[in-house]
Amino acid sequence: MMTRRIIAFLLLGGVMTSTVTLAQHGQDQRRPADIKEYLEQLDHPERDQYQKPSQVVEALGLKPGMAVADLGSGSGYFTRRFVEAVTDSGMVYAIDVEQEMLTYAKESLVHLHVPFTAEFILARPDSPKLPTDSVDLIFVCNTYHHLENRATYFSNVKSALKPGGRIAIIDFYHDDRSGPLGFPKHHLVPHDTVVTEMTEAGYKLLREHTFLPRQYFLEFVPATP
């Protein structure tokens, strides 16, 4: 299944933190050989410097009672912030294709010692398996470039949005702005390609936030409500 291995230096927060082995299978699907180490990298405190999670959550305008899907939730870095923002009157779906990541994210939520309402969905590569009409926001951080056939994927996902629902996409710039990442930048999706693909999927760009130094941050809504 694994056709080749690359040694990658994951640079999170602008600081070289360690060496991680990534297993590469297929064209673009990369999965870390050591998931535990990968999860620790995602949660590294240095990451906050460029990821600005509080500012991201504030920009999303989340309110108690809202329903949010964290698509490609990984370690739960943002999932934890979402459960605090929407409170237990809301709903957070943590969605990932890796069961180990979901288990880790769930444990990290429990350790917050705050009441929360959440579901953990083991996704299929081609579907987040979200219920119809279930969420106000689908949040996709550093995961868009992992997805395949993205226009079809997001066209199908539209049915999971409640009326007025949005999709927010944050991902690394494919050029020098993202800084050293530890994997080839041709895996990344340029900003304009995201807009083109999401337009093809039936969305329009609602707004763009420009405060993240290494990533674009785009919000889309269905072109026809």
3 in Cβ contact with 27 (< 8 Å)? no
Query: Which residue in the shown chain puts its C-beta closest to ligand SAM?
Result: 74
27 sits in the region (left: phi over 0; alpha: psi -120 to 50; else beta) called: alpha
Residues with Cβ within 8 Å of residue 82, at least 6 apart in sequence: 57, 62, 68, 70, 92, 139
> Is 146 near ligand SAM (CB under 6 A)?
yes
> Is 98 near ligand SAM (CB under 6 A)?
yes
* Among the residue ranges 10-18, 108-116, 135-143, 174-182, the one whose residues contact ligand SAM (CB under 6 A): 135-143
Residues 216, 170: Cα–Cα separation, whole Å: 5
Residues 202, 211: Cα–Cα separation, whole Å: 26
> Which of 10, 86, 118, 147 forms a contact with ligand SAM (CB under 6 A)?
147
165 in Cβ contact with 136 (< 8 Å)? yes
Q: How far is the CB of 42 from ligand SAM (least distance, A)?
A: 4
> Which of 24, 82, 96, 194 forms a contact with ligand SAM (CB under 6 A)?
96
Beta-bridged to residue 122, according to DSSP, are 96
167-206 binders of ligand SAM (CB under 6 A): none
Instruction: Name which of 67 and 95 has its Cβ closer to ligand SAM.
Output: 95
Instruction: Name which of 24 and 143 has its Cβ closer to ligand SAM.
Output: 143
> Which of 62, 77, 91, 195 forms a contact with ligand SAM (CB under 6 A)?
77
> Is 24 near ligand SAM (CB under 6 A)?
no
193 in Cβ contact with 186 (< 8 Å)? no
50 in Cβ contact with 214 (< 8 Å)? yes
Q: How far is the CB of 100 from ligand SAM (least distance, A)?
A: 9
53-72 binders of ligand SAM (CB under 6 A): 71-72
Q: How far is the CB of 102 from ligand SAM (least distance, A)?
A: 9
Q: Which amino acid does the sequence have at 134?
A: S
Instruction: Name which of 142 and 178 has its Cβ closer to ligand SAM.
Output: 142
* Among the residue ranges 111-119, 138-146, 181-189, 190-198, the one whose residues contact ligand SAM (CB under 6 A): 138-146
Question: Rounded to an integer, what is the distance from CA 18 to the centroid of its chain?
Answer: 22
Residues with Cβ within 8 Å of residue 158, at least 6 apart in sequence: 201, 202, 203, 222
Instruction: Name which of 5 and 204 has its Cβ closer to ligand SAM.
Output: 5
Which residues of the shown chain bind ligand SAM in the complex (CB under 6 A)? Answer: 42, 71-75, 77-78, 95-98, 101, 123, 125, 141-143, 146-147
